[in-house]
Structure 1
Amino acid sequence: MTTASNVHAEIKTLLEGWCTGVREKNLDAIMAYYDPEIVAYDAIIQLQFRGIDAYRQHWQFCLGMCEGAMLFETHQLVVHGNDDVAFAHWLNKCGGTDEKGEEKSSWMRASAGYRKTADGWKAVHEHFSAPFDMASGKALFELQP
């Protein structure tokens, strides 16, 4: 039987590998984190992504937007789960460096649902978002935790 602390440790390790893949712009490492039937609600481009192929194309686009070093970190990770299903939420600091080497980043909200497969834990649902101002319709990228 899996304990809550084991599930937390396993999901944390999974997320750390995924974040490393993002920072290294390693598309195969990023995609290894996801279940083939992933449903994702990302903060940009479209309302939803269904399936690994659609999300892979999206990640490829996103990685192409960052020319400098990538910044991608999880903070305040909370995990709940049992032997075969888990849920996590965290704050994600993401961005990169510009042509002058200056950091350009913001905080995002993230949550994910996981299923334990023969290949280990895989994300089956992911949601990234930024809070926004209702009056202006603009994202609030300057907020800090």
Structure 2
Amino acid sequence: MNDTATLIHACYGAYQSRDRKAFESLLADDFTFSSPLDDNIDKAAYMERCWPNGTEHQNFLIEKLFTDGDEGFVTYRCERADGSAFRNTEFFKTHAGKVRHVDVYFGSDIASEVNEEAIQAILDGTIEAIRARDAQALLKDYAEDMIVFDVLEPLRYVSSKEVGERAAQWLSSFEGPIQYELKDVDITIDDEVAFCHCLNHVIGTKKDDGEEIDMTWRSTLGFQKLDGVWKVTHSHASVPFNMVTGMASTNLKVS
């Protein structure tokens, strides 16, 4: 890493850690800053106007950094304290180990990326909970009034309490470890709602008769952001059936 890149990394590190003294020490006395909202303001104006905004920013991830001598371009992703994020590009001019000027070009919010990560985290948590046969862990991402259409009777479950009881019953029916995975996961997200569809595959041994289970079923999940937190509000599981025998086809495999 060259001196310009090291200086730029140090600036973001000090800004993220809210170390004002360290940050100011990296700026030249004649430092200036420009953005769509700021026209070549000086160091004092920057510290008064822009530095306080950093309390809303939790994490900077530098995605691209190009330097040429004393100049550098940076594209970064910044995550806010509320879980949202945005992406900006900044142009640095440096001299003698100090930053002399920064131009910032505002990007758009990238909530969709953050939201997809949150949904994926719920799915990953579901996998871990089922493998651990932990019904309570499974419930932590479920809305209290969620509705579930399961492959077994009754027609529906209408609360996380009912879903938890059903999950505990199912998980306790296995002897030993459970192999469980989600395949062909497809997620569609808006700002406040999302859904995904996937194939569920489980392998395990039934406790009552020792039967080996190797089953695949389909599921669609509905999500809603409630008080800023993504929750599962609906789950619909199904299996196709054989029209000749009238029996459910639980042994189908992904082609």
| TM-score when normalising by structure 1 | 0.89
| Consecutive aligned runs of 4 or more in structure 1 exceeding 3 Å deviation | 1-6
Higher strand share: 2
Gaps in structure 1 of 5+ consecutive residues: none
Contact 1:40 1:49 in 2 (8 A): yes
Q: Quick one: distance in 2 between partners of 1:31 and 1:56?
A: 6
Q: Report whether the alignment pairs 1:46 with 2:154.
A: yes
Gaps in structure 2 of 5+ consecutive residues: 1-108
Higher relative contact order (CA 8 A, sep 6+): 1
Map 1:124-143 → 2, pairs under 5 A: 124-143=233-252
Residue number in structure 1 paired with 2:136: 28
Residue number in structure 2 paired with 1:19: 127
Q: Give the aligned residue type for 1:50.
A: V
Identity of aligned residues (%): 26
Contact 2:150 2:236 in 1 (8 A): yes
Question: Structure 1 residues 66 and 50, CA, compared in 2 at 3 Å: closer, same or farther?
Answer: same
Tell me how many residue pairs correspond in the alignment.
144
Question: Structure 1 residues 135 and 102, CA, compared in 2 at 3 Å: closer, same or farther?
Answer: closer
Larger radius of gyration: 2
Match of 2:192 among 81, 84, 100: 84
Q: What do residues 30-75 of structure 1 show as CA deviations (whole Å, max 9, x unaligned)?
A: 1112100110011123211001111111111111211221122111
